[in-house]
Amino acid sequence: MLALLTFILFAFAPVSMPAQQEQGFTPVQGATLQARAEAAQAQATAARHARYWTAYSFDVRPGVAVDVDYVSDDGRFNIRGTWDAGDGGTYFVGDGVSVSNYPGLETRSLGVFALRDSAGRVERIDVFNLARRHEYAGHPVYWMGRAANEESLNFLRAVAVTQVLDRSHSPQNEAVWAISLHDDRRVPEVLMNVARAPTTDEHVRARAVRALGLPPVPEAVREYLAQLIRDERESRDVRRAAVAAYGRARDAQALALMQSLYNSNANRDLRGAALTQIARNEDRQAAAAFLIRVAQQDTDKEFRKTAVARLGEIAGEQAMAALRQTATSLDADTELQRQAVSAIARRPVSESVPLLINIARTHAKPEIRKHAFVLLGRTGDPAAVEFLKSVLTK
């Protein structure tokens, strides 16, 4: 608890003055954000800085923690990166860490940092937590104060739609991410403008489209995403991003579109993406029913395996019964049974361990029994350990 309180106090500390004074930023003045950027360039030129940062704070939407470094008391979570609860879930992104349903962390004091060359051209965009110290790659930081949302969104949009020369180092992608962090009703419109701009790189377009899925999704945005999904002239990445964005709504409307897409579309990538979003829909019963039908009746073996795997993510007896039937049926495909056993192992141990023990003891296929043994050994559950000991000591 102490670690959590320490993080919260640190993350929510006042930052306007410390950003300038404690971190050694150089304040610049001007009536507008552009005027302050020009003043920063003039000062950087006078100081002969080959590269320099301009930075400003902005209105941050709730539910995100950017640039955090947090360790829980029990050591269970060691997190460095970014957290976003915007779609009703909670996850950390950074250093390969992803944690679900972890409440209570957000950073409302963030800064957009633009690394510029001597001519003022933007080479890089970063969003930093202003409550943390950084080295900023050794370059000076010119602090432009708080930007009005419209100024900030216009600046970031201009960066995002600039032609990408090097995808390995793209401030355009990070500009899109920064746009999505703003607490402003105009964000969806700005993201759609980025996606529609003729100069926008396809990877940047896909990122902008994916960011449109932040709930609540306006009807105009849903229509735009549905249009992208159906447009065969669009790239695979953009269409997949549109499926992911629409599916994040997780409501009945999203479920209906995903089911229609799966049933009617010949594109395998889109069908697979739709199946993933169906599994995540908030109507767990309807989602499970659809996945069960795919698992039992679809003629495509790979999609049957995918549906079985997704059933392991859905709580409830309906999904569990389907997995049990697939895993234990005498005439089921062996690969499908392995997938079902793996899906069972992802359920809570109170559900999974008794069934895995039964499969390990009684299944007709040796390869499925062996798979169950391996998965039991990974659970760490006392009942599983005792069962494995009893088998080994016979």
Q: What average pLDDT does this structure show over 17-45?
A: 88
> Does some domain include residue 356?
no
> Does some domain include residue 110?
yes
Domain residues for the domain of 37 are 1-147
> Does some domain include residue 280?
no
Q: Model pTM?
A: 0.80
**More confident of the two residues 5 and 60:** 60
Answer whether 80's CB lies under 8 Å from 168's CB: no
Q: In this predicted structure, what is the pLDDT of residue 70?
A: 59
d(C-alpha 338, C-alpha 308), whole Å: 10
**More confident of the two residues 8 and 339:** 339
* pLDDT tens profile 170-221: 899 999 999 999 999 999 999 999 999 999 999 999 999 999 998 788 999 9
Does pLDDT of 321 surpass 60?
yes
Q: In this predicted structure, what is the pLDDT of residue 384?
A: 87
**More confident of the two residues 76 and 354:** 354
Q: What average pLDDT does this structure show over 70-87?
A: 53
Q: In this predicted structure, what is the pLDDT of residue 89?
A: 44
Does pLDDT of 8 surpass 80?
no
CA-based nearest residue to 199, from 163, 230, 237: 163
> Does some domain include residue 131?
yes
> Does some domain include residue 358?
no
> Does some domain include residue 248?
no
Q: For the chain, what is the domain count?
A: 1
> Does some domain include residue 363?
no
